[in-house]
Amino acid sequence: MSWCSGKKKFADFCRLFIPDHSGQAVFQDIKNNCIINSGEIFKDICAVISACSKEHGKALLFLDSGRSFLSALFGCLASGIKPVLINNKLRQEISLLAGLYDFIITNQEYYEIIREYAAPDTRYLLVDSLAPGIADYSVLPSVDSSDTALYLFTSGSTGAPKLVAKTFDNLYHETAALADFFKIRSSDIFYPLVPAFHIYGLLFEVLLPLFCGSSIILNAHFSPTFTFEKIIQEKKATVIIASPLHFQTMSGFLDSYKKDDFTFFRHCVSSTMAMDVALAESFYRKLGMIITEIYGSTETGGIAFRRYAHNSRWKFFDFVSHRLDRENVLSVSSPTVSLPEGGESWYATGDVIEGDRQFNLLGRVNQIIKSAGNRVSAVEIENALKKSGLVNDAAVIAKKCGGLRGEAAAAYVVPAAANEHIIEELKKAMCNLPEFKRPHFYKIMNEIPRGPGGKVFYKNLPEI
């Protein structure tokens, strides 16, 4: 399969993922105990194409991951509609997107929920009430590979909420690169826990398995024992994509299983946020599972990876070029980067690294604390606080202070247990760090504000 840049029929793109025949198994539906093949999916897509025949512009997709999402996504693309992917837990955020979409594609259940947040004159297309449709690939619109295919809504954990455009080239190149990197087979069975409105959920739940002719497990609720026993051991899933929070939950059950139970398992992939090295090491030590962590963002796609059995340092993907400024802030250029029309060919990530071809990720520019002439990673201090055993969660930011110090670390902590002396004990525990790295300010929290994917919303932390 190949995709050449330039003007071409949408069918050339669509057929890379959804062939119009019925032989390929697409979904293993756990809830309904059935197999859904590509022929059935193609009929669903045709129904969306027919329903969108008089629509135009952008469609907000407000759906759970799975069959309806896939059908709506490809139905929009085939109709020349630009789908906008949004976390279906962010209902109030629909009001932030007013004027940025033309209609909403959802189902009856979500329609009853979200109509109070959308404008009164909003048009809706309900995928669970569509009549069967017929579509002819030959009459589908032409697209240029540099055209915008879809938009991803980011909720602004490190900035303002916005829409990020991904082109057909962006999506194809990252899908093809991941297929080659992971050596995906048609016999692979994907178990996605990252939802499809996230860039790596979209890739691992939709584009990558379809591109490789693999199947996808659908409607599987998440629990550690269900994942290990039903999904991996019984259904023989070979690829799992999850967040560090999922792996953290599963880690408490590792001693219940042995390495021989998972000899057929091929890939554990983690994305959305950085993972604690000790957590990844426990999966390798106890079950022989090597977790591949992907570093990137909605705007950049994948930038680098690390595999904990081999090295805890990051390594750039072969398709990524990079450069550093004087402050070691990373900029990247690759076929997967979303760039504004006519904009720079390099994207400034805002992340500070240490190293070059293999590197340590120190954190974002606003997570680098310049204390008494030293550059300190807030991430390093957060990890030290968590390893103390005194806190369940922590977040660290820079706070300006007087004198020659300039800035000092301010720590927000969630105590592991009720303890009126927690701050004194934390200060004592942090004595193993150099003085300029120790937090000078503390604030006790009931919880650290985090987004749906687990990222800290630093902008929502209160003043100390």
How far, in Å, CA of 330 to CA of 344, rounded? 14
Enumerate residues 6+ apart whose C-beta is below 8 A from 278.
none
How far, in Å, CA of 21 to CA of 353, rounded? 47
Cβ neighbour number for residue 65 with a 10 Å cutoff: 22
Give the model's pLDDT for residue 11: 55
Give the model's pLDDT for residue 2: 46
Pair of tokens at residue 192: 């996605």
pLDDT in tens, 417-435: 998 899 999 999 999 888 8
How far, in Å, CA of 396 to CA of 458, rounded? 9
Enumerate residues 6+ apart whose C-beta is below 8 A from 416.
389, 390, 391, 392
Give the model's pLDDT for residue 31: 74
Q: Give whole-number Cα distances, 257 to 95, 254, 394, in Å.
A: 47, 6, 31
CA triple 87-93-96, angle to 5 deg: 130
Q: What is the pTM of this model?
A: 0.81
Strands 407-415 and 391-400: antiparallel
Give the model's pLDDT for residue 1: 42
Selection from 352, 364, 385 nearest residue 458 by Cα? 364
Q: How far is CA 276 from the centre of its chain?
A: 17
Task: Tell me the residue length of the chain.
Answer: 464
Asked if 88 and 63 touch (Cβ cutoff 8 Å), the reply is yes
How far, in Å, CA of 409 to CA of 44, rounded? 54
Residues of the chain under the 70 pLDDT cut: 1-25, 133-141, 155-161, 309-311, 340-344, 366, 372-373, 402-405, 452-453
Cβ neighbour number for residue 24 with a 10 Å cutoff: 16
How far, in Å, CA of 125 to CA of 290, rounded? 43
φ/ψ region of 265 (left if φ > 0, alpha if ψ in -120 to 50, else beta) reads: beta
Give the model's pLDDT for residue 276: 81
Query: In order of start, what are the domains of the chain with their CATH numbers?
Result: 7-156 (3.40.50.980), 221-356 (3.40.50.12780), 367-460 (3.30.300.30)
